[in-house]
Amino acid sequence: MKKLYIFITIVLSSVVLSAQNPTCTSVVSSNDGGNNGVRISKCLMSNYLSPTGTVIEYDINFSTQGSVGTIIIEDILDSNFLFVSSTQPGFLGPPTQTGNTLKWTGTAPVGGYAYNIRLTVMFKPGETCNGTIASNQVSILGTNIPEVITDKVNVEAQAIDDWTITKTAVRASKVYLPGDTVEFEIVISGGGGIGRHNLTNINIQDVVAGGGATVTNFGCLNLNGSTISTYGLQCRIRVQYDASIWKDGDCSTNTITLTGTNPCGEIVTVSDTETICFDKDYVSPPLVGNANITKGVSIGNPVPNCSGMYTIDFKNTGTKDLTDLTLTDVFPAGINANTIVIDNYNNNSYEYSVNNGLNWIGPINASNYSVPVAPPYSGIMIRPVSGSSSIYANSLIRVSVRFTVNPGVSIGQIITNTALIKSPSESISKQASASFTIEEYQPKIRLNKSICNNNGSYEPGDELVYRVKVENIGSDAFVGGTLTDILDPRLQFMGINNVKVYKSNNGLTPLCSNNGILGNNVTDLTTSSTVNFDTSLNKLTVDIPTLNANCSLHESIWIEFRVKIKPGVQKGFIPNNININNGVINKTSNTVNISVIELYTLRVGKQISIDGGATYTSGPVTVPAGTTVRYKIDIENIGNSSIQNISLIDILPNLGDENISLNTPRGSTIGGILLNPVTVPSGFQTYYSTNSCPDTTPELGSVTCSSGTAANWTTVFNNNAKALKIASNTYILNPLSLISFIIEVEVPPNATTGDFMCNSANAIGKQLNGINTQVFSSETVCLETTAFEKVSCCKSDLNFEIKQGYDAFTQDYTRLNNIIEISGAPTFPLIPISEIKITMSDIDITYDYEDCAKCIDDPKLWGSMEGKTNYLGTGVTNGQLFLEPNIGSGAIPQKDEAFRELIWSKWSGSAGRIIQSGDALEFNTYLPPKSKIPCCTTSIKICYIVSWKDANCNVCETPICRTINLESLPKEQFKITSVKEDCCNVNLSIPNSNEYDRFLWSTGVTSSSITVNSNGIYTVDAWKNSVKYTSNFTVNNILAGNFPKLSFDPQAKPDQGDNFVIRDYTKARNTNFSYNANKYTLWIFSRWDSDKDNNGAFRKITAVANCETGFKNGDIQWDGRDNSGNKVQSGEYNFVLRLENCTKKCLSESGTCNETFSYESFVCKEGWVPLFPPLPRPRVWSICKEREWAIRTQRIGVVDLEW
């Protein structure tokens, strides 16, 4: 049979479409007349209005189906575009560009896959006219697949003319003498770059109002006729004013005008003015003469016969032109100067000598001037041409001298070169030196790491090739080098066979290899290099060949190796570098970052099982008519970003069904019967439709049947359903997570040999920002049917094994839970089973005493059987066996009921069930409780006969048995009563204790009652006639343990009902057990009064709690009176509080005091004492010293009493 593939279709991201400016094209497709085809569309991902010079991004979404061979994708860029970059699938590689045409070529993998090319272009900056509309389209073809072309996508250019020109007098005062030459600074801003027009054929004119002035060219006028596109262009002009016209006190307004043509053919004119004035008494600042010199040396290998270069900068840093500024540099012994280049940056006119002033050459005013005189050179001298020129103020001359180190120098020798500038007229004499030291010959390594054909960004699962260049830039051989690259754990090394080591044969940098195939002009050194990879460390090592080097030779090699970005790697950068070491040189390369982008991708897998889900295959499979098959659909997030709102569409097999991705027939000749509701993960809802060609546009966008109509979805199960929709608005599928859906379908019993059922599924989701993903499709899974032969069921070699389930032992019965697993290696063709019967055959009892053989009065409890598996299989009318009416309802046996046979039969009209792996029957067998059997332990063996009948009425049978040991459970329990003797003691006792023989409490006490003084769980065992019974009681009303943190309001006004109250502010007032105390003592102290009998306190309040309720929150308080009941005077009073319970007595505010803490004596200290908030001014008065109490805690404070 022919295998069908599901075509993967792209659903474009949510975008706004308009008739005039379509953002996305329609999807166009092409195929070879069969199941091999392609589809493509193009979307503008950037704004429709795009400033020139900014990047514009397109998504080219394409997919392949089946085997399409070599595909070619072409995109002819608009003439106003510049190609910037592209990212594409690895099998395509970067595009080739011919003119405006971009072409991607590659061999597509076989199967159904979706791909994306991200194309980045821009409108030509400065050259594209505002309002230009660029149209763009893309085409695709494959081997034997005709070419198809998308519609055009438009984008409109935005650009402005924001040119400005400014004119500013160089002199800040803008005051000059009549007849002066005035210098102006001109700045041209705007143009070019992002969103601006260039100006062509520009013209700069300077006009002096009133005339009488001459404009001289000083740079700006050289621009006339050219095109300008640079932002911030600067130049100068000079204006000579006629002293006979411009007198003392006059002011001149000078206008500069810039005119040019933009790309739209429009004339752009901008201007600026500047005003200067003349003053015959104006005194110019004095001109200052100054100069400076710097000198440097660059030499990579300071060894004999190697080259270096001196750089000398001398500059007139003053405001005066210097006519006698001279540079002198006499070259040192130990080097030979080879070439001299003079850069003149400010149009100075000079002359020079290379033989210590014996011969002068000049005048010279060119820049980048190479001295034509052949070496040897003794030095270099530069000066203005005598009597006719000067070195201009603020001007620079640079001299570059390339030299070779002489062979006769010694290691460690220091070679110093000094340059001197002088100006006798300005008394300037300065020098600058540069030195280097002669070294031994030695290797030096330059290490660079890069990515071959870097796409700029990558997705999880992408493969890429690292390339490392190792270059010996030293003067001696580099021997024994080992490269070590510890890969980031997010990268997978793709094998030693993907490592390449090679060198260039022509000195040029070679191209990266093509999938490991080296190009021309390279030598493969892989076999002469040792490559190892340590999987545990993700570490690659490469022992490289010797790299030679001398003053004229620097050998290089390149190493390539392939890595893969692991699935699920999150968006971000993956850094990587490499190290080289030979025991002497240890160097690390630059760091290369792999940019991983967000990827929203689902894998939809569909498989079929013919053994009840034990094993699955992608098909095709061959099964008999009437077989129950199970489809499993896996949706796996193989991207790196979470996906939500997942919807799955499954068009079930049906005559004439359609591959909705390709709108081509799937090849089904029959339809299946949906047996039961779909098994879905939590959070998903299944919808059913009896429409075999539903309109799935609301779910999948353009992916739908060619003649799709409304689906009429319902959540009510229907075994005649032709389509399924499974969706969730809440489930989030995280990267590398997988969810599965199970669908059971029965092959029609009337299917004939050669019928086909083919099935596939499509899924879509949303990014967390609400944008749809594309549509992802599974493979097509097909099965072929065959009729079964009339052979005996015994040939199926079925095995039945009984296993223990969840047995139950109660006071009334013993219930044995039995599970019979059916297994075997069935022969083909498979034989449907029409009936399975389980009959009890024997009950054998093994006992220790003759009394165990006594007759039991409940025969119904000896071996009565209860069926628990109502249906074997999941079909409703076919391929399923059902439990015939019996006590299969789950009720335990009633009086005089005794069922000892269970039968599972086929439905009327069904051939029966094809036994599958995992099939099992569950039933219960009832026995009497242990208490009704005289002996303590009884072994019981129960045997059954399992018989089964096939569709041809052949009957087979086999015996199975199970043995158990019964264990009794207590027939009755008892209660424990409690009586609280006082606040700290509770008595626990057993009612009717005279009925029991002996006792054992968890405390070790053996009487029928105990008294306890701590909270906890207390357990007691009681024996009656050698039977043990157990009960327990929880005591939780004894006040013990730590005290809570207490607070109070320091302002008390008893006459207003506002006594001084200490309470737990975390609880409501009057809450029981608020202080966890059964006794408290509150002492009140004052500066005026004391009571020696109360430890110095004039008032002592002591209270004992109710044992059943404890103190209520707010019980601890003072009414402002003394021990005699008299009101005390208003003022500040100190207090001390002590709490007690069954285990602790404590003054500590934190409540964590030691049980043995001594509170008998205090030592009062006059002064401030740290107290807990919110006390404003706490003190303890010195009157306490009479008894010298030691107040060592924080449960003290001050209350401000007011009447």
Query: Which tens digits make up the pLDDT trace of 1185-1194?
Result: 333 333 333 3
Q: Which residues contact 1203 (CB under 8 A, 6 or more apart)?
A: 1053, 1054, 1055, 1120, 1127, 1130
CB 83 within 8 A of CB 121: yes
pLDDT at 116: 84
Q: Which residues contact 625 (CB under 8 A, 6 or more apart)?
A: 747, 748, 749, 750, 751, 752, 785, 786, 787, 788, 911
Burial of 722 per CB tally in 10 Å (0-12, 13-18, 19+): buried
- The predicted-structure confidence for 296-313, as pLDDT tens digits, reads as follows 999 999 999 999 999 999
Q: Is 97's pLDDT higher than 60?
A: yes
CB 900 within 8 A of CB 840: yes
Residues 982 and 1079 in one domain: no
Q: Is 107's pLDDT higher than 80?
A: yes
Helices (DSSP H) in 757-837: which residue ranges? none
Q: Is 479's pLDDT higher than 90?
A: yes
Domain end call among 560, 591, 622: 591
Would residue 1178 count as lying in a domain? yes
509 or 1152, which is more confident?
509
CB 206 within 8 A of CB 185: no
Q: CA dihedral in degrees (513, 516, 520, 521; nearest 10)? A: 80
Percentage, residues of the chain above pLDDT 90: 30
Q: CA dihedral in degrees (1021, 1022, 1027, 1031; nearest 10)? A: -50
SS3 content of the chain, % helix, strand, coil (to 5): 5, 45, 50
**Model confidence band, residue 222 (pLDDT cutoffs 50, 70, 90):** low
pTM: 0.48
pLDDT at 83: 92
Q: Is 534's pLDDT higher than 60?
A: yes
- Please list, residue by residue across 344-363, b when 16 or more beta carbons sit within 10 angstroms of its beta carbon and e when fewer do: beeebbbbbbbeeeeebebe
Region 1031-1054: what's the mean pLDDT? 82
C-alpha–C-alpha distance, residues 277 and 286, integer Å:
20
Q: Which residues contact 440 (CB under 8 A, 6 or more apart)?
A: 303, 411
- The predicted-structure confidence for 735-766, as pLDDT tens digits, reads as follows 999 999 999 998 887 888 888 898 888 888 88
The residue count for the chain:
1203
Q: Is 19's pLDDT higher than 50?
A: no
- Rounded to a whole number of angstroms, the distance between the first and last alpha carbons of the chain is 106
Residues 45 and 115 in one domain: yes
CB 999 within 8 A of CB 990: yes
Residues linked to residue 759 through DSSP beta bridges, in sequence order: 781
Q: Is 230's pLDDT higher than 70?
A: no
Q: Is 12's pLDDT higher than 60?
A: no
Residue 1160 CB neighbours (<10 A): 7
Residues 897 and 1027 in one domain: no
Q: Which residues contact 438 (CB under 8 A, 6 or more apart)?
A: 302, 303, 304, 334, 405, 409, 410, 411, 412, 413, 414, 415
CATH number at residue 871: 2.60.40
Would residue 22 count as lying in a domain? no
Residues 770 and 631 in one domain: yes
- The predicted-structure confidence for 896-921, as pLDDT tens digits, reads as follows 556 788 998 887 767 778 777 778 89
Region 767-774: what's the mean pLDDT? 83
For residue 275, CA distances in Å to 179, 211, 253, 254 come to: 16, 14, 4, 6
**Model confidence band, residue 502 (pLDDT cutoffs 50, 70, 90):** very high
Would residue 1029 count as lying in a domain? yes
Write out the H or E segment, with its range, that includes residue 1103. strand 1099-1104
pLDDT at 1099: 85
pLDDT at 795: 53
- Amino acid identity for residue 341 in this structure: V
CATH number at residue 33: 2.60.40.740
C-alpha–C-alpha distance, residues 1076 and 1040, integer Å:
7
**Sign of the CA dihedral running 906, 907, 909, 910:** negative
pLDDT at 1198: 73
Region 79-94: what's the mean pLDDT? 89
Q: Is 888's pLDDT higher than 70?
A: no
- Please list, residue by residue across 135-160, b when 16 or more beta carbons sit within 10 angstroms of its beta carbon and e when fewer do: ebebbbbbeebeebbbeebbbebbbe
Percentage, residues of the chain above pLDDT 70: 85
**Model confidence band, residue 663 (pLDDT cutoffs 50, 70, 90):** confident
C-alpha–C-alpha distance, residues 455 and 446, integer Å:
25
**Model confidence band, residue 779 (pLDDT cutoffs 50, 70, 90):** confident
pLDDT at 793: 53
- The predicted-structure confidence for 1112-1160, as pLDDT tens digits, reads as follows 888 899 888 888 888 888 888 888 788 888 877 655 333 333 333 233 3
Region 941-947: what's the mean pLDDT? 89
pLDDT at 191: 56
Residues 262 and 353 in one domain: no
Considering only 322-326, 378-382, 759-763, which range has the smallest mean pLDDT?
759-763
Q: Is 1179's pLDDT higher than 50?
A: no
SS3 880: coil
Would residue 4 count as lying in a domain? no
- Amino acid identity for residue 717 in this structure: F
Would residue 6 count as lying in a domain? no
C-alpha–C-alpha distance, residues 649 and 725, integer Å:
5
Residues 847 and 947 in one domain: yes
- The predicted-structure confidence for 1082-1103, as pLDDT tens digits, reads as follows 888 776 655 555 656 778 889 8
C-alpha–C-alpha distance, residues 1096 and 509, integer Å:
100
Q: Which is nearest to 111 in space by CA: 618, 599, 459?
A: 618
Would residue 8 count as lying in a domain? no
Residues 1100 and 1123 in one domain: yes
Q: Which is nearest to 948 in space by CA: 796, 804, 830?
A: 796
- Please state, rounded to an integer, the average pLDDT across all residues of the chain: 81
CB 577 within 8 A of CB 595: no
Would residue 1107 count as lying in a domain? yes
Residues 417 and 345 in one domain: yes
Backbone angles phi and psi of 261, in degrees to 5: -115, 130
C-alpha–C-alpha distance, residues 94 and 106, integer Å:
10
- The predicted-structure confidence for 847-867, as pLDDT tens digits, reads as follows 654 544 554 555 556 778 888
Residues 612 and 739 in one domain: yes
How many independent structural domains does the chain possess?
A: 8
Residues linked to residue 40 through DSSP beta bridges, in sequence order: 28, 62
Domain containing 1127: what range? Answer: 1047-1201
- The predicted-structure confidence for 706-722, as pLDDT tens digits, reads as follows 777 887 889 999 888 99
Residue 133 CB neighbours (<10 A): 13
Residue 697 CB neighbours (<10 A): 13
Residues 941 and 986 in one domain: no
C-alpha–C-alpha distance, residues 395 and 347, integer Å:
9
Residues 754 and 832 in one domain: no
- The predicted-structure confidence for 260-269, as pLDDT tens digits, reads as follows 888 888 899 9
Q: Which is nearest to 1189 in space by CA: 1160, 1156, 1169, 1167?
A: 1160
Domain end call among 965, 989, 1008: 965
**Sign of the CA dihedral running 857, 862, 867, 868:** positive
**Sign of the CA dihedral running 852, 854, 860, 864:** positive
The DSSP string of 1154-1167 is: -TT---S--B--SE
**Sign of the CA dihedral running 617, 623, 625, 627:** negative
Of 275-279, 388-392, 766-770, the range with the highest mean pLDDT is 275-279
Region 540-569: what's the mean pLDDT? 93
CB 608 within 8 A of CB 633: no
pLDDT at 221: 60
- The predicted-structure confidence for 351-363, as pLDDT tens digits, reads as follows 999 998 889 998 8
Q: What is the DSSP letter of 477?
A: -
Considering only 223-227, 383-387, 610-614, which range has the smallest mean pLDDT?
223-227
Question: How many H-runs (helices) and E-runs (strands) does the chain carry?
Answer: 1, 90
CB 983 within 8 A of CB 963: no
Domain end call among 745, 764, 785: 785
pLDDT at 800: 84
Would residue 11 count as lying in a domain? no
SS3 403: strand
Residues 801 and 770 in one domain: no
